[in-house]
Structure 1
Amino acid sequence: MAVIELGEPAPVTDEPTAPHRWRPRPWLITAVALLCVVALTGSARPHGGRPGRILWSAPIAAEDQITVAGDAVLQQRTGWTSELTVYDLATGALRWRTGDAPLTRVLPSPADAVVLVVDDQGVATPNRDGGTVTARRSADGATVWQQPGTVLTADAGLALIADHDTRGWVIRLRQVRVADGAALWRRSIAPARDVLVEPTRDGHFGRVLTVTNGRIDLYRWADGVPSASGRVTLAPDSLLSAVHGRLRADRYATAGITSTWYDLTDFRQLGTIDAGTVPAVECGPLVCRAGPASVTATEAGTGREVWRRTDVAGFALVTADRLLLIATDGSTRTLVDPATGRALATHVPGEVVADDTVRDSVLLLHDTRSPAGRSAAVRLDLTTGAWRTLGLLPSIRDPRRCVGTAAGLLLCQDNNRMLVATVPV
């Protein structure tokens, strides 16, 4: 099938500049907020292939939350009234709607054709039930199972459910099979304010972390068996996350965000960054931060600057082994190896469309000038840096409010409506 090529990636000749020497003192780095992205106004004229088109649309309210669940679209409305409406992804046909039970959030489990409906309004409220989890079939809304507690996360057909005390602290954990609700393991824990799940590099879960006043306990995701424990110094208002064997604690204040990293092997403090108004990000083995006209990467343990690029000024996409950075022109992207800062592709046009179903490439959309009022779709290979324009589709006002699906369709939120469109091929 013919596909028009609108241009090849520009030759990559710009390499990261030599790092500055680091002085042995606590990190004091001010990161500047990521630059706003300016819509691209390039032209695209495909001479073949099949253009994208809108399959269906439906009205939504500004506060509605839209989620893809396999072959279904979930429209969640909360507030004075709670309602979940489920549509067929391909046709837009209404499958089912429920307003018969309170809900605060939903978690899809596409592999099991199940939607987990969570009501955790009773958590930390005396004489309340402490939350309820209901598994409903995405096809017709029938209840598959119901259990007390709240779902903390779900992955690959498994869900982690927590029971809380009257303060809202987690006191018990259990892992259940989403398909039938069967418990695979259960564990009582010391009351924990925070429970985190550390992902592995392949995107699945590896360990569960519980945090209580600086005490860290680690459990294996597979069977709930304790694997390590230690203690770190944490401020009560810290927001915590765990990735790649490190615990990260962010503190938000008027002056900006302070981020501190701890090693989850020996629980020593690795370093601290005063990151301004936007926190730094983990980029492969390093920590990256964006300034007004540069992106830099440093070692978490030593603070040594490894690389710096002055042709970029923000993050468009961060994966375990790739960075897609916002070029200083605001309208194009640069693909970088985070370990070295070397550019793999430059001048890639468009805004990234979120898509958890594809790991080796990414779709970008940008407005066109001729013909006017259309959007062009670009596919970027994250391994090689090769990219090409696929074709045109009706105008998508904000690609950042779109998600890709396993069916190869786009689900977008456009002001007061949601729409599903095909991707040009």
Structure 2
Amino acid sequence: MFNSLSEKLESAFKNLKGQARITELNIANTVKDIRRALIDADVNFKIAKEFTDKVKEKALGEKVINSVSPGQLMVKIVQDELTELMGGTAADFSVTGNPAIILIAGLQGSGKTTFTGKLANYLKVQKGKSPMVVAADIYRPAAIDQLTVLGEQIGVPVYAERDNKDAVSIALNAIKEARAQNKNVVIIDTAGRLAIDEAMMTEVANIKQAVNPTEILFVVDAMTGQDAVNTAKAFNDRLDFTGVVLTKLDGDTRGGAALSIKYTVQKPIKFMSSGEKMDTLDVFYPDRMAQRILGMGDIASLVEKAQQQFDEEKAKKLEKKIRKNQFDFQDFLEQLQQIKKMGNLKDLMGMIPGVGKAIKDIDINDDAFKGIEAIIYSMTPEERANPDLIDQRRKARIAKGSGKDIQEVNAFMKQFEQMKKMMGAMNKLPMGGRMPGFRR
């Protein structure tokens, strides 16, 4: 995500390397390179110029203290301005009402229907809500089918009327049905087009007027850059939406949409989405996104994702096993599965400061753990619980069962033993017999 922009900004900061202080002369090339990086990322020239003018003004007005280099100061200033450009703080998302009504709008292909499913899953799993989704796209039967499949996948009811060609009445009927079923959130997936047209705008505006939604979210494909910003402005002029959703952030995103939308339409980005999995939806935090763009990682989001998968009782049992040097293959398998639930592996690693740049050219497949899982699944429950039982004869059987060479099984088991030794060494640290990171 934003790899090209990150690299160009990093290159711009190098102009200040070795400088003792910031002057109008030595900052000129840095500011010019930052502006060029933003324009290359498909940020509007006017926005890029205003941004760099603010950066320059702040930089020249700051005193560089002894412990901070001019380059470090410039990074901090750019980080603050990027954060402000994208909204400053995370925006509120309202789900009050009986029921709360959320209207989803956007062009066809922007990821509207997939986002509708993700939002329903987010509200159900993380917010404890009881949502219903509504298929109000009366022109594309596949949209109804897609939403039905997603609803079944996440365990959320889908309201659809295949023979009704009046989207407004479908939305109103869905709200009545939601009340009858005691559903407290209704998410309406509206029709999109390949381009803006009057019929689409009129229909979604009519739905808005009829249902009086709590939130109106405009879904935009982040890969379309400045075009996405122009589309957002056209929708906002008609709908006065409450927030923006950026989708497809796992693609080749130049960053123009994320950096320009808030400035252009004065509406916050509320969510960001990547991939097709239903749990890949995140609240948009401008400060965290600025850190990621500048290659600083995003530890806060990584910790939040870990906490969502955290089971305190299991963690206590695991801590006891580690302290007794009883960590086994079944424990290892469970930890792998928790990591996989946290999301895209490369994105997760990119949240660790300094790692994103190191792995930018490395293809990290989400199936990277499959070989290890195959080896463990080829073990008997007794072997998983007691690794010392696995002799050469058992290794040969495990290799055959997992489709791996005996050398791969040996290498994995050696790595596992090294990891156990490292855990044992950490357990001897002077922390009152506690493993770091574990709570009692």
> When the two structures are superposed, what TM-score results if normalisation uses the length of structure 1?
0.25
More RCO (CA 8 Å, sep 6+)? 1
Higher helix share: 2
User: Which one has a larger percent strand, Structure 1 or Structure 2?
Assistant: 1
Larger radius of gyration: 2
